[in-house]
Amino acid sequence: MSVAHAGASVLLALVLWALVKRLTATKARAIDIAGPETDHWLKGNYHRIFQDGLEYNLQLTEKYGGAVRIHALLGEEQLYVSDPRALHHIVVKEQDVYEETDMFIMGNKLIFGEGLISTLGEQHRKQRKMLNPVFSLANMRDLLPTIQPIADQLCDLLVSKITAGEQEIDIVPWTSRGALEYICQAALGYTFDALNPEKTSEYAEALRRFSPTALRLILIRPFVPFFVRNFSLQWRNRIMDWVPIKPLKEFRRIVEVMHRTCKGIYADKKSAIEGTLVDGSLKLNEPQGATGFRSRGRDIISILLRANRSSNVRDMLTESELLGQMNTIIFAGFETTAIATSRLLYLLASRPDAQARLRREVRAAKMAHVGDSARWQDVNLSYDVLMGLPYLDALVRETLRVYPPTSLLSRTTRKSTVLPLEFPVRSASGQEVTSIPLPENTTVIISILAANHNKEIWGEDASDWRPERWLTSTGERVRLSDGENPPDGYVVVERSEEEDKVPGNRNGIKYPGVYASMMTFLGGGRACIGFKFAEMEMKQVLTTLLSTLHFSLPAEKEIYWKMNGLQVPVVRPPAGDGQTPQVPLKIRLVRDDDY
């Protein structure tokens, strides 16, 4: 027997042992809430929830309400939650009780290092305290002009591909490349020339391959804690060498490339911060790939390194933690933003009226700031003007609400607790209940999708894409947060007026989301720290592209969006294979009748 086959046999035996332990441990726990019967002895309902599961997820809450018992691997009972009061307890009030699962924390630590999504408790709070000022509005304002050339480059690239009036172009590779360049320049102050079709980058390719490869390993992830707890790093590496699973080996190569690249960039940034500062600007002696004077040390990691150096010893992050932030920020700011931007362009292509209205708004804003010799299309809007465009804001908000890039997240109870509900559900025996006792180590699935589609909160048209819900009758934006001074473009709607004028707030009941009362970027101490940057990027790309280009749907191709945890756009047969991510759109230059 070969070493590989022997190793595979040992691994199989270990996995079977882990399965038996998991099965016997979980059978003792029971959640007394109504839910669907298991669909499969091994996969339970998981495959229907996580694989092309849009309709199934929405049907769960339609039938059972905001708390549903589901079956995970080997029949383990888990709680699927979208109730607003329950989510407030999970992500805000009792966030120390409902923590990320061991699978999530340990898996992320192996992949990204000790970053925000890999830590818990006091370590996470310390990292968050250090990073919050880095993502301030002031820093976002400084970053905007630095990264504007990326949107211009993306627009020029698409224009160059239009050879005869109108051209069908798959926008997924280009929104993906653009998002990668945005986050790398903004976060690292580096360019990997992602928008140059003639150049390739090992790091860029690794990032593009990350999610597709990880999805192929979804059934292996639950066993990560078992191997981390029971095997040393040396033995885990040996097992990886032995096991004949190609996606696992490919994933290890991807992680190695990511870590090696970030480690090299970290060393360069550290040297620049420590010894080459001149009048607050970086000298042009950084290695190839750095953005030099255009960045001027305003990238996120440079700001973080300077803040860390000026902190007291107790609050300082270790080198391992700083490296972890680099990998985490790049990954978190790359694919989800690319997906959201592709979805926005697809929706605008399918709704010519919305596209024309947005283009009129962008033209008016740019013409108000155009100089004597400039074309209005070439005007770069300031941060406050860009973020204050009412219809653009409504489009982005509604798209992120109805089609969140990430639909599901998990938590586990670190002790026995009782989860209160805003809206009653039925127990397994049919009785109405308003709270749910949960044993220790119960997995809770946060359904971002179901929360964002909750008719009790968003109205009967909750699943409809209707940007106008975020506007007043005069086309101005509704202010959502209490106790803040509204920026330009917002109209304050007092609580004495009709409640449905404030989206996501019905009779004072709302979700604890950090962004527009929706759950897309979560809420509480583990809310997405970079949501302001993602919003800014999407708005900058849209205003730049729509000033020059018109988008429409191809007549012979049906684009379908799968919900596999992340949103995956495909073209259905016979025009496509139903598997390859793509959004083919017909693109041409803007004409006078496109406004």
Decide if 531 contacts 521 (C-beta within 8 A): yes
Which residues lie closer than 8 Å to 70 by C-beta, 6 or more apart? Answer: 35, 36, 44, 45, 46, 49, 60, 77, 78, 79, 80, 445
For residue 30, how far is the Cα from the chain centroid? 32
Q: How many CB atoms lie within 10 A of CB 465?
A: 17
Packing angle, helices 319-332 and 300-309, rounded to 10: 160
Helix intervals (H) in 403-530: 448-452, 455-458
What does the angle CA 535 – CA 540 – CA 543 come to, to the nearest 5 degrees? 125
Q: Kindly state the tokens that stand for 156.
A: 């020029």
Task: Quote the CA–CA distance of 31 and 29 in Å, as a whole number.
Answer: 7
Which residues lie closer than 8 Å to 228 by C-beta, 6 or more apart? Answer: 106, 110, 236
Q: Report which of 537, 585, 543 is spatially closest to residue 155, judged by C-alpha positions.
A: 543
Which of 137-172 are b and which e, b meaning 16 or more Cβ less than 10 Å from the residue's Cβ? Answer: eebbeebbebbebbbebbbebbeeeeeeeeeebbbb
Return the DSSP state at 44.
T
Q: What is the CA radius of gyration of the chain?
A: 24
Task: Quote the CA–CA distance of 321 and 119 in Å, as a whole number.
Answer: 10
Instruction: Measure the CA dihedral 97/100/102/108, to 10°.
Output: -150
Would strands 77-81 and 443-447 be described as parallel, antiparallel, or unpaired?
A: parallel
184 is in an annotated binding site: no
Q: Kindly state the tokens that stand for 423.
A: 């809206």
Q: Kindly state the tokens that stand for 73.
A: 């691997």
Decide if 112 contacts 328 (C-beta within 8 A): yes
| Number of residues that make up the chain | 595
Which parts are annotated binding residues? 528
Which parts are annotated binding residues for heme? 528
